[in-house]
Amino acid sequence: MSPIPELGAIPAGTVNLTDYTAHARSRLDDNAWAYFSGGAADELTLQANRTAWDQLLLHPRVLRALAGGHTRQTLLGRVLEHPIMLAPVAFQRMAHPDGELGTAYAAAAQSAGIILSTQATTSLEHIAQAIVADPGRGPLWFQLYLQHERAFTQALVQRAEAAGYEALVLTVDAPTSGARDRERRVEFKLPPGITAVNLANLPEAPVASLSPGKSAMFDGLLSMAPTWSDIAWLQSITRLPILLKGILHEDDARQAAQLGVAGLIVSNHGGRTLDTAIPTAWALPRIAQAVGPNMPLLVDGGIRRGTDVLKAIALGAHAVLIGRPYVHALATAGALGVAHVIRLLRDELEIAMALTGCATLDDITPSVLFKHP
């Protein structure tokens, strides 16, 4: 077992997820702040993700029987204590020396699922070793970027299987990075000692020889970008269920369902790739309608309140992911901050359920959302 990280102190007056943003800003340098908090281009999608949840209004019911209620959810055959999971975030040791290890301990302590990034600064084996035997932990999933060398990707998948990860989350919405102005302004670079350790020994990608008139993007980088055929290949090399992260269009959702993927994550990469892409709260109900109730759906992007979690469930999600809030909490108070964020969100969800007359997640239906005349 890995040593449990030292706990930080939660600043006085920290009572919600957004409070951690200001605390984190004072603790992170400009380089790390640009990476963790910035979005693509004018950051319109980053802002819209948050606004879209706010614009959904609740239509509560009263005098319902609520005794014995709970937040349990079944996902991929596993019972979750609550529907809150931690999204994959790269390079977490830029936020705190404990990095992903502190996050993993906090998630396990709060029975929250965690998705470890391919670009973690702690090995996937180290994280699994730390929490896999904890009987109260939530799901442990591994986020995957398909690498340019299939043999390396296959070896990475086999490592995740051997370590005890329960699912693969394939990110499909980032064949290239977005135009991130904040990062370009600070000339972002990884600090010394911060690397994607799970990608150690990855051979250099071949450099395309471009003839005149050819594009470095389309004829170079994107010539190695994943396509739908790679999904079938990935399914053929693993026994783990595969979820696709980064779905916004109903047609892509239908195609993924036809390929037999285990679940979908409605995501616009936190507004970090394509600016002016639709907010996830708009995409979620369309995708839920396209694939039906039996396809496990998760959603991320702008979730900051328990009412947002309730709204996501009402729109068809089975669980939600948070990203920036827990990284800001990690930067502020280490593992204790991450645990606090999860607990705050779960408490707020229970309050929202009680005040809308919903004893269980199954009671949260579209009728809890107000329909404008």
Model confidence band, residue 372 (pLDDT cutoffs 50, 70, 90): confident
Residue tagged active-site, from 23, 96, 269, 318:
269
Name the nearest CA neighbour of 144 among 166, 121, 171, 174: 171
* pTM recorded for the entire structure: 0.96
How does pLDDT run across 32-50, given as a tens digit for each residue?
999 999 999 999 999 999 9
**In this predicted structure, what is the pLDDT of residue 345?**
98
- Angle 147-153-96 (CA atoms, 0-180°, nearest 5)? 75
Tens-place pLDDT, residues 182-239: 999 999 999 999 999 999 999 887 766 666 766 666 665 666 678 999 999 999 999 9
Q: Is 372 a catalytic site residue?
A: no
Q: How many CA atoms lie within 13 A of 303 on its CB side?
A: 37
For domain 19-201+227-361, the CATH architecture is: Alpha-Beta Barrel (3.20)
Report the alpha-carbon distance of residue 186 to residue 250 in Å, rounded: 37
Q: Percentage of the chain surpassing pLDDT 70?
A: 94
Sort strands 73-75 and 78-80 into parallel, antiparallel or unpaired. antiparallel
In the 8-state DSSP scheme, what is residue 26?
Answer: H
Percent of the chain whose pLDDT exceeds 90: 88
Compute φ and ψ for 360, nearest 5 degrees.
-135, 170
Query: What pLDDT score was predicted for residue 208?
Result: 65
Residue pLDDT, tens place only, 258-313: 999 999 999 999 999 999 999 999 999 999 999 999 999 999 999 999 999 999 99
Question: Averaged over 113-124, what is the pLDDT?
Answer: 98
* Mean pLDDT (whole number) for 126-145: 98
